[in-house]
Structure 1
Amino acid sequence: MIHILIVEDEISMLKGLQDNLEFEGYQVDTADNGAEGLKKLLANKYHLVLLDVMMPEMSGFDVCKSARTRGIKTPIIMLTAKAEEIDKVLGLEFGADDYITKPFSLRELLARIRAILRRTGIEALTEDHQIQKIGRLSVNFAGYTASVDGQEVKLSHKEFEILHYLYAHKNETVDRDNLLDAVWGTDYQPTSRTIDNFILKLRQKIEADSNDPKIILTVHGIGYKLIL
């Protein structure tokens, strides 16, 4: 699984980026200041770093420069609220691989991440580009395809997204509200019956016996858990 470090001192943005990247299937670590970010970067192996520029204790520039002087070659995308050319040039001169100016769209950020992972040959490591066996179902999340015993099985877009989120959090209890926010967004919330119907449809395609589920479990009063 692709392992990404986010270093960002704005907690709401940090949490938002973490949730969205985890939904995309990435494993995510976080740090809310430059010094902590550098410490984690030196102590762990990451495939990519999202690094804010303006932070307490150490700026993103200093973190990037220090990491590069210590031989860390992990790809770095700088996150900056400044649009001045000098800041972009500094980031690249200190060893950043790319930069993106706030505010940015999630789609643009994901495109930048995937572009760097492709250039560095890391993208092929992601589980999303492999066939995942979930109960009876074989799933390719990147290709939006699914099959049982070699026979294609039709999943709706929402079914793929729900299953993708549960898979990204496999063996964990997923809060119902978090699942709804991740798949439908905060502007529209389906009823409890709607999400239950989607889970029922997924069970019929995944479970050996949908009336006695062993893969997608209901955690009463909380949400669901995908067991693998």
Structure 2
Amino acid sequence: MSGASGNNEDLIRVLIVDDEPGLVETLSVAVTEAGWRPYSAADGESALRTARGCAPHAVVLDGMLPDLDGVQVLRRLRYENPRLPVLMLTARDALEHRIEGLSAGADDYVTKPFSLEEVVLRLRGLLRRAGVEDARSDEFVLTVGDLVLMEKTREAHRDGTPIELTAKEFDLLWLLMSHPRQVLSKAQILDHVWSSSFDAGGNLVEAYISNLRRKIDKGRAPMIRTLRRMGYTIRPAEEGR
């Protein structure tokens, strides 16, 4: 492992590949604040060289690079390390581009513009699924109003009262609470909670939203809201409609 000190050598290494210096710097700060060690590369060839040198635990990879296409870089990274977690960044909203990246081996993706919290959250999930322990955080907790969700124990509480959730209900609620006050479409929910290729339509999302409302909002001020023809959002009950 590379590193300036013994402590640095113990840190989780995250390689950030993007040709926008400002974005790389911002992501590097977020990675450092998460307790990890950032490495960076501005193009595909240097990304491959850096990956061979630092042996990253995860990669944040832009889909559009000045030399190699992001998917080409992804395929080469996958060839050299089939289990390396890769989070794709894309400014392209077309479904076929997201499917191309996922088919090439990306574990997850976020679309620009994105929040740094979302990137860190998704990286943390990928690292844990890969079996890489994050020593700085034994438990990651989301809080919206009086609703609390705990990642490691997969427990939910509202105003101190436990709420029993199925695995997919938990995943859906985690997605909503990761984007408080933001409206998520049915397509976005299907992409993130199930998969881009999942063919169940919006009825599945409606059914799970209904289940969550019954468990979270019944007898209380509502938190989960529907915006007609737009999607769903969650916000503290005290903010009203």
TM-score bucket (shorter structure) = 0.5 to 0.7
Residue 226 of structure 1: CA displacement? 0.6
Gaps of 5+ in 1: 9-31, 66-75, 89-98
Match of 2:230 among 204, 212, 222: 222
Residue 146 of structure 1: CA displacement? 3.1
Residue 219 of structure 1: CA displacement? 1.3
CA contact (8 A) 1:51 1:78 kept: no
Query: 1 or 2 for the larger relative contact order (CA 8 Å, sep ≥6)?
Result: 1
Residue aligning to 1:24: none
Quote the Cα distance in structure 2 between the aligned partners of 1:167 and 1:101: 23
Seen in structure 2, the aligned counterparts of structure 1 residues 50 and 177 have a Cα distance that, compared at 3 Å, is: farther
Residue 160 of structure 1: CA displacement? 0.7
Seen in structure 2, the aligned counterparts of structure 1 residues 77 and 54 have a Cα distance that, compared at 3 Å, is: farther
Match of 2:43 among 32, 35, 55: 55
Seen in structure 2, the aligned counterparts of structure 1 residues 192 and 55 have a Cα distance that, compared at 3 Å, is: same
Residue aligning to 1:110: 127
Residue correspondence of structure 1 range 142-161 to structure 2 within 5 A: 142-147=152-157, 152-161=162-171
Match of 1:206 among 212, 216, 226: 216
Residue aligning to 1:190: 200
Quote the Cα distance in structure 1 between the aligned partners of 2:209 and 2:215: 10
Cα RMSD (Å): 4.6
Quote the Cα distance in structure 1 between the aligned partners of 2:139 and 2:186: 30
Residue 180 of structure 1: CA displacement? 1.2
Seen in structure 2, the aligned counterparts of structure 1 residues 39 and 112 have a Cα distance that, compared at 3 Å, is: same
Identical pairs, percent: 18
Match of 1:165 among 175, 181, 184: 175
Residue aligning to 2:69: none
CA contact (8 A) 2:16 2:41 kept: no
Seen in structure 2, the aligned counterparts of structure 1 residues 176 and 50 have a Cα distance that, compared at 3 Å, is: farther
1:174 corresponds to 2:159: no
CA contact (8 A) 2:16 2:27 kept: no
Normalising by the residue count of structure 2, what TM-score does the alignment of the two structures yield?
0.51
Quote the Cα distance in structure 2 between the aligned partners of 1:84 and 1:157: 32
Quote the Cα distance in structure 1 between the aligned partners of 2:169 and 2:50: 44
Q: Which amino acid aligns with 1:40?
A: T
Quote the Cα distance in structure 2 between the aligned partners of 1:114 and 1:140: 18
Aligned length: 173
Residue 82 of structure 1: CA displacement? 5.5
Residue 148 of structure 1: CA displacement? 5.5
